[in-house]
Amino acid sequence: MSKQAFDPHNLDGVWVGEQRRPGNGRFDNHTPEPPLTEWAKQHLLYKSISHDALDGTLIDPRRAPDPSARYSGQRRFYLKDLNGVRVNDPDGEYPAKDCEPLSTPATFDYTFGPMELVTTGEGDRIFQFFEYHREWRTWWLNRDHPKDLDPTYEGDSTARWDGDTLVVDTIGYNGKTMITGVVAHRKSDAFRLVERYRRVDHDHLQIDMTYYDPKAWGDKSWPGFHRYYRLVPTEQFEEFICSPREYQAYDSRVTNRTNEVPSK
């Protein structure tokens, strides 16, 4: 822990995910997802996803019908998730597929890329910039959500201080993006994200997240998400442009390679 003096209400700086920190991987939550409503099962499920599932039908990868599954050599391989959606499908859905917007909270699947927080001189808002996919958000301090919100990919974010913790409340998502790469359904337009940012010491930032979606889970929330970042003042953003043409060429090469069955 850094003993250098710091202002807990100043989150400005470039932060990079602590890759060796437990819980900072693609999916860190051991709290089960609330059961989906019947509406969600009919309207939010994907046909398949490219990543592993949280839970579901567990099989030996050597017996998997898909050659790419056998090639992966995964110790744990799920053929389907709990809702019957096929997983580990190279052609399945994943966050920002085909250069579509990534959006939060799926953005936090990729903590290897730097994140920068910048407070405006007026102190009425904080900007959050992500290198990965070049996405950014605005957190409005001490104001309510507009009553006539226009749904967007990033939603509308308000922020307030609760002691030394900044609570960011986001609603107004358009329901067109994934929650995370290992959840086989998308957000609805009622999805709400509540984040709690706390500067643990001069060099470390912790983010705790809770998901809400009354259309997907009724009155149940999904808590227990955490992310950990380290201050890296010398880190500079690199250009990340998602070019559909280059993206498709790369995706084609990867898919062709994973479909090759290795010789025994």
pLDDT digit string, tens, across residues 180-235: 998 999 999 999 999 999 999 999 999 999 999 999 999 999 999 999 999 999 99
SS3 99: helix
Give the per-residue pLDDT at 261.
47
Residues of the chain with pLDDT under 70: 1, 22-28, 57-77, 250-251, 254-264
Give the per-residue pLDDT at 80.
87
- What is d(CA 198, CA 8) in angstroms, rounded to the nearest whole number? 7
Asked whether the beta carbons of 56 and 78 are under 8 A apart, the reply is yes
Q: What is the DSSP string of 50-98?
A: SSPPSSEEEE-GGG-SSHHHHHHT-SSEEEEETTS-B-S-TTSB-TTGG
Asked whether the beta carbons of 101 and 177 are under 8 A apart, the reply is yes
Domain boundaries of the chain, sorted by first residue: 13-46+93-258
Please state, as a whole number, how many other Cβ atoms lie within 10 Å of the Cβ of residue 148: 5
Show the DSSP H helices in the chain as ranges: 38-43, 67-72, 214-217, 244-258
